[in-house]
Structure 1
C-alpha cells in the first residue's frame, strides 16, 4: 500500500544541494540492468521454487508452491514499501542529478532548482537515490531463494553437498552484481546500495526464520541421505 500511495504522490522531498558537490556531478549513463534482465532476475525465484517442489515431492505441489509464492510476494511488497518510503521522504539526490537537471547556471547553494530537462519524470527519479530499490529487492529475492535451496537440498544425496553451495553462491553473486552496477552506472551512491543490500538480506532472513519458518520446513521422509536410502532399500528386501 505505501508503494501505491507514494508512486502517485506529486513529488518527493525537495532536498537542496551545493553546486560544487562533486558527488552530484557524475554523467548520466544507461543502466546495465535492462528490462529483459530485470524480468529474468525476478523470474528466477519462481523457476527455482517450481523445480525444487517438483523434484522433492513435498506435500502436494500446488499447495506448497502457493505457500512459497505468497510468502515470497509478501516479503517483496514489504521490501518495496520500505524502500519507497525512504526514497520519497528523504529525497537523496542521485550521483547524476546535475546532468539530468540541466541547469543554466549553478552557483553556491540551491534549494529549489529550475531544471531544464525535457522529461520532468527523470528529474523526479534523480531525487530518489536513498536507498537502492534494485539492490534491496534483488538481495531479498536471492537470499530468500538461497534459504529455500538450503532447506530443499539439505540432507539429500552426496552430489547436493557441492551443488547446493554453488547455487547459493551464484544467487548472492547476482544480487551483488546488481548492486555494483547501480554504483557503476551512477544511479546510486555506494551507501545507498550497501543499505539496500543489507535491508534485503535482513528481511529475507527475518521472514525465513521468524515470521514464516514453517514455509521452509521439509518432512523428514521427503529427502533422505544415501545411507538412509540404502537402509530403506535393504529393509524392503524380503
Structure 2
C-alpha cells in the first residue's frame, strides 16, 4: 500500500517545500496540551464501526453471522486502506506545512522572508519535523468521515424500526456524522491542520464511502435472503 511505502522512508518521498517567515498561516503556536484526539480516543472511535457491524449482524443475520460479518468488515477495511493511501499520497506529494510548523521546527526567522531550504534547530530526521509537513489534507478527517458515512449506510440497510423506535436510527446516524465533523474541528483547534485540509478530508472520506456503498460493493449491504431473492428474480426474468 502507498501509505506503508511512504511512511517507511519519509525523507525520500516527502516534498520538502520552503516557507515564508512572514506567512501567519504557519506561525501558530504549538499547543502545550496533548492533542484533543489522543491515541486512546482514536482507538475507541475506530472501534465504533466494528461494534455496530457485529451487533447488526447478530440481530439481522445470525445464521450466517461469520460469513456476513467477514464480508462487511473486509469491505470496510478495503475502503479504509484506500482512503488512507489517497490521503498519504496527497500529503507527501504536496508537503503542505502545518499551522504550527515554525513553532515545531523552531525556525530562525529573524529578519528573514522566504526560506527555500528550511533548517530546523534539531535533527530533521526526527519524526515531528516530517509530520509538520504533512498538513494537506487531514488524515483524521478523511478516515473518520469515511468510517462514519460507511457505518451510517450500514445502519440504514440493517436497522428496521416502527413506532417510536423509528427515531433511533436517524439519531444514531446523526451522532456518527456529528462525531466525524467534531474530529475535523479538533484538528483545526489544535493547530494541526488548516481549515481547508479538514474540509477536503471530510469530502474525500464521505465521497469514497458513497462510492463503496452504491457503486463498488452494493451487494455487501444485502442480507443473504435478499441476495437469493434477487438471484431468483433474475433467473425468472432470464431467457
Task: Give TM-score scaled by structure 2 length.
Answer: 0.88
Residues 50-81 of structure 1: per-residue CA shift (max 9 Å, x gap): 11111123650000000000000000000000
After superposing the two structures, state which structure 1 stretch, 30-39 or 181-190, moved more: 30-39
Shift of 1:190: 0.2
After superposing the two structures, state which structure 1 stretch, 117-126 or 87-96, moved more: 117-126
**Structure 2 match to 1:137:** 143
**In the alignment, which of 28, 33, 54 is matched to residue 26 of structure 1?**
28
**Structure 1 match to 2:71:** 67
Structure 1 residue runs without a partner (length 5+): 222-238
Q: Would the alpha carbon gap of residues 217 and 59 (structure 1) be closer, same or farther in structure 2, given more than 3 Å must change?
A: farther
Residues 137-171 of structure 1: per-residue CA shift (max 9 Å, x gap): 000000000000000114x4334410000000000
Aligned mates of 2:96, 2:72 — CA distance in 1: 35
Aligned mates of 2:157, 2:83 — CA distance in 1: 23
Residue 94 (structure 2) pairs with residue 90 (structure 1): yes
Residues 191-210 of structure 1: per-residue CA shift (max 9 Å, x gap): 00000000000000100000
Shift of 1:112: 1.3
**Structure 1 match to 2:155:** 149
Aligned mates of 1:117, 1:164 — CA distance in 2: 51
**In the alignment, which of 128, 133, 138 is matched to residue 122 of structure 1?**
128
**Structure 2 match to 1:13:** 15
Aligned mates of 2:212, 2:63 — CA distance in 1: 21
Q: Secondary structure at the match of 2:136?
A: coil
Shift of 1:117: 3.6
Residues 24-53 of structure 1: per-residue CA shift (max 9 Å, x gap): 111112310011100000000000001111
Aligned mates of 1:118, 1:159 — CA distance in 2: 60
**Greater share of helix:** 2
Aligned mates of 2:63, 2:222 — CA distance in 1: 11
After superposing the two structures, state which structure 1 stretch, 49-58 or 174-183, moved more: 49-58
Residue 183 (structure 2) pairs with residue 178 (structure 1): yes
**Structure 1 match to 2:230:** none
Residue 103 (structure 2) pairs with residue 99 (structure 1): yes
Task: Give TM-score scaled by structure 1 length.
Answer: 0.88
- Kept in 2, the 8 Å contact 1:100–1:117? The answer is no
Aligned mates of 2:99, 2:22 — CA distance in 1: 13
Q: Secondary structure at the match of 2:10?
A: coil
**Structure 2 match to 1:217:** 222
Q: Would the alpha carbon gap of residues 219 and 8 (structure 1) be closer, same or farther in structure 2, given more than 3 Å must change?
A: closer
CA RMSD, 1 decimal: 1.7
